[in-house]
Each structure stands twice: as structure tokens, then as C-alpha cells.
Structure 1
């Protein structure tokens, strides 16, 4: 692809990834971005984030609509109105599904609720699991004896990347180049898809500009915020377009 580079290529640190923006210099319009698997892994990881975690990352004011008000109401509600302190903690600090791959994916690590545990029946060999201690085991009889309660604490072991068949890199996608659109749509890169976009925006192959950017924790938080508020996310974060 013929292009003129507007900046020197950055050197990512272990907590950053690089992203190349393809821009029409005449209109300063972002056509698309090219990335490796690491940035796509981050985008896909967003789908595993509980709402409570997203609000903690962005702040209550970073959410569109009223969802932030619900979080704020739980936060300031006196514990005497909650069934237990554990219920409040689990709502404000929901457990992250870190077993999906490398935890955090460039986002700040968030503390999970200290009350979220797994429990099994202490008197039978069933495969039932509960998240609320004292739940009645549906296999071990139907009376109210204490030996039917699921109170035996289990230790959750995060599988390794090898266990999940993720390879040494972890994440979700294979190590291929990808195209990321301004609205965060992701497709594998191909000459045909590039030419289709050039034709759509009436851009000749030699009249585009590349801009290499470094994406770190701060940029990822801003990308997450912009994804809640805009359909031109990359432009908002990296080109300063509101």
C-alpha cells in the first residue's frame, strides 16, 4: 500500500500494543485501522466485562443514560438496607471471568468481590456447585438437615493458556492482521476489503496516510468510554474528533 507516514513507528512496552490508522489526509477521515491479535483480543475481552466492572473503570459519569445511577445508589445505600454486606460487595465488585484468557487485556486490574466463592455438598459425591453457602443440595435428600447444605468451600483454579488451547499468547483470536473500523467492527485484513473501502470513500491507493499510535491502559479506558457514546470510536480517541 502506497502511503506517507505521519509519525515514526512507536516502540510498544509490555503493557501497550501498536495500532496503525489509515487516514484520508484531504478530509482527515479515518478509513480503518490495522492491528495484530493483541488489540483485537482487547476489544473482544470487553464482551466479558460485567456492567459493574465497566462502571468502576469509567466512573458513574462515563455511562450513557441512567445505569450509573443504579451503581451509585448501591454504593451509598446503608448496609442496614441490604440483605448482607456480601450482597452489596458482589454487586459493586462482580467477579471477572478471567478464565477466558489473559486477565485485564490492557485494562486496569480490578479487585473482585471477596465474597464470591464456590461451594459443594459436604455429604455426597454429587457434581452440584453453588455460589451461595448453605444452599440445599438437590441430590442429597429433601429434608432440612444441615448435612444437606452446600458449605464445603472449593478452590477455583484458573486454567492455563495451554489448557484452553490458546497457545502461549493467550487471548481469543489467531495471530493474523486485522482491520478495525471506526465503529470497532473487526474483520481479517484482505486486499479486497481494502479496495472496497477505498472505493466507498473515493480514495486512490496512493493518497492515504498512515499514523502509528501506541495503545496503553489509558487509551483502552478511553476506547471503552467512547464505545458507549460514539460510533466513531477510533476517531474520537486518536484524532480528537467528538
Structure 2
């Protein structure tokens, strides 16, 4: 881990000495800003930061997706930069996050790149947010333009919450306003009657460890204060509760469907792998670019990460103006968008991309045709890909596929499914908390009949 990732932040906590348990913490805006900023981090960034601790997403398939991209030959990607975008996705809150007291995202500060040669007037000095994008003039964009960190408007401090606000944070990271009555009520609820059984402590919390605990435990503060390590609680995954209702405003999105062939074991209705084009591959790989808060939003605030849910609902309940600095800050946390150019044509889940006011000045790093500003995908087509049940993505090879079967060949059957928003949402949830993502996501229609052979 880098020195940046091991940075800590001071926190005052009240502990139950008898139970070795954190009752609650008191904090100013600095700690809460850091805590809330976790909602803006893309999944791929979290994996990159915690890669040495693979158990963070060990119950699901996200690590496999990340490793698949890492191993994928760039010839299968629309541009070489696509690999960087998936392995180190940018956050749409990257600019305000530069003002956090501790920012664990160790990517270089935002800077734009231009080509080394002097573009003619037609191209007007196009810029890219990624290095080694090919300019319209043919040169690679490698010259960096550093952007200085901006000071908050009118000298106002704080990133997401007001500087003057003080907060209480429970052990499961529910954030509320400082209140004596709330703290007394919490003590009473825990059966604490004597002051002799409690103690105030000031501790240093390693911010990266806090992020890891947030995603892997229901008592992250207690774990970090008393055990000084990340503890993994077993997250229960229920494949029977896979789908979420589609809002009326998403009806237009759900009209788009992808067609996917599944190779299935007839004896147990288990998916062995999927054969699909680059459109379905883009859908799967784009999960790495989704901010944590956007995933909770898609799941209706009811993700299997209980502490993330508490954090998310804390932001929802804090009013704008008094405590949250602005509507823009609040939406940045509970409905975070994708960073510019990270949206795919076949994303299906309707997460918006941040709009750059001057899109015409930038190049889309996913597209070789630099005259097109938006859209595109990560995988180059037309191409068929093989996606295993645990979401290992590789170019399709019939020989490799045959040798991957762990069932008799006579037990293998091809079935076809269509994927819209409901199925994509089920697949996203399964990819986070199941080792059999395809089987769990498509369990409701694996009873489809074998397709007729083409004549």
C-alpha cells in the first residue's frame, strides 16, 4: 500500500469498556466528508485500492471481472486506453474530493493531455483526460496540463457537508447530528447505566481500512478501534430476491434488449458459461465503473452492505443548506453519475454520465473516430466473448469452451435469454455477492426451451 492509502484521521469515540465495543463517535465535517466520499468511488477503484485484500469482494465475482480486464489483450478493446479506464475508473466527484482531508484515491490529480505537436486550426487543441489518446492530427496526447486544486467558493470549507456541523456516527456508520438526547437514548438502548462502564478515547483510523470495513462488516468502528484490523462478516446472498421493480421513467431504457446464449447443465440448470457479443461484454465490464452510491440507488437503498445502506440513508435524511452544502453535493453522493466518457451504448441500467459543458474540446478515449464525442463501448466488435458463471471474461474459443465443461458433454444444452434492465440489475447484484452470477441472475428463465436449430 502507498503512504497515501495508509493515511489516518483522528476520531473521538465513546466505548463500552466491558464489551469492548464502540458506542458512537463524535466528528466534525472532515471525517464525515471522507466517510461520505466512499459513495462516489467506482467499484474498479475500490478493487484497485484494496487489491491485496481480495476478500473485500471475495463473496462475488467483481475480482474476476477486474482480473479479466487486466489479462485481456488490448487488441480486443476499442482502444488501449479502455483498459486503463476499466482498471482505474475516474470518479465524477474527483474534483471536490481533492479537498478532502484524506483522499485515498492515489490516482494523479486530474490533468488534461494534449499532443506534443502543434495542431492546426481545425482541431483547436483537443484535450483528453487520459494519456496516450490519439489526437485527430495523428499524434499521441502525452503532454500533461496540470490543474491546480481549487479553493471552495467564498472561502467556505467542507466538501459535502457544512464546516460548522458536528456529527454522531454509530458503530454501523449511521450519521446523525450531534445531540445529547440521542446519545443518552443510545446508551439506554444498549443497557448502559453507569458512567464507570464507558470511556472516551481518541483514536487514529486508517481511512483505507475504514473503507474495507464498511464493505465487509456490520461493526466497522469496533473492529478498527479494538481489533485494529478488518473483520469480514458473512453476507447472506438470497438469489430468490434478485429483481427490482422498474420505475416508469425507465420504461424507455428497458425497451433495449440484448440476446445472450447460455450453455447450461441440463441436470441441475446451472449455467456453465455464456456466449455473447461485445454488447453484453460491455454491460458486464461496465460494472467496474459504477460508483458505490449509484449501486445502492439502483437497489432502492437496500443493498446487502448494511453499513453502506446506513451511510446512504444518512445522506438522504440530512437537509440541504443546513447540513449538506448543496443539492449538487447531495446528488453527487446518493445519485452519483459516471465520469465523462464512461457511459456505454449498452449499459442498460440508466446511470447518467456527467456532462462536460465543452464536450467539443475533448476526445472520447473509447473511440478511434475522435469526431464522435459521446457513447461507444470498451470491447471491440464484432467479436464473441465467453463469460463464465463466475464472470471470467475471455475471447470465445470453442476448444477452451469444451475443455471447460465439468459435466458430461451429453448434459450440455444451449438456451437463449434476453437481457433488459431487470436482468441487468439482477446480474449486477449477483456479481457482487454470488460466485454463480449467471445462474442466479437468470434462474427465473433457465427453464426456457432449447432453441430450434438453424436450417
* Contact 2:167/2:175 (<8 A) preserved: yes
**Rounded Cα–Cα distance in structure 1 between residues aligned with 2:193 and 2:42:** 43
The CA deviation at 1:166 is 6.5
- Number of the residue aligned with 2:107: 111
* Contact 1:90/1:116 (<8 A) preserved: no
The CA deviation at 1:68 is 1.4
More helix, by proportion = 2
Say if 2:219 is the partner of 1:232: yes
The CA deviation at 1:175 is 2.7
**Rounded Cα–Cα distance in structure 2 between residues aligned with 1:239 and 1:176:** 27
Task: List runs of 5+ in structure 1 lacking aligned partners.
Answer: 1-14, 124-128, 135-145, 147-154
Backbone CA RMSD of aligned residues: 3.6
Tell me the number of residue pairs that the alignment of Structure 1 and Structure 2 aligns. Answer: 203
Say if 2:96 is the partner of 1:100: yes
**Rounded Cα–Cα distance in structure 2 between residues aligned with 1:62 and 1:236:** 16
SS at match of 1:161: coil
* Contact 2:111/2:146 (<8 A) preserved: no
Equivalent positions of 1:114-125 (< 5 A) are none
The CA deviation at 1:56 is 0.9
Alpha carbons of structure 1 residues 161 and 131: separation in structure 2 relative to 1, 3 Å: closer
* Contact 2:13/2:201 (<8 A) preserved: yes
The CA deviation at 1:30 is 1.7
**Rounded Cα–Cα distance in structure 2 between residues aligned with 1:53 and 1:73:** 15
- Number of the residue aligned with 2:56: 63
**Rounded Cα–Cα distance in structure 1 between residues aligned with 2:49 and 2:164:** 28
Higher normalized contact order (CA 8 Å, seq sep 6+, divided by chain length): 1
Give the alignment's TM-score, normalised by structure 1.
0.69
- Number of the residue aligned with 2:85: 90
- Number of the residue aligned with 1:138: none
Say if 2:12 is the partner of 1:31: no
Q: From 205, 210, 222, give the equivalent of 2:209.
A: 222
Task: List runs of 5+ in structure 2 lacking aligned partners.
Answer: 1-6, 115-120, 137-144, 232-455
**Rounded Cα–Cα distance in structure 1 between residues aligned with 2:77 and 2:112:** 17
Give the alignment's TM-score, normalised by structure 2.
0.39
**Rounded Cα–Cα distance in structure 2 between residues aligned with 1:220 and 1:86:** 29
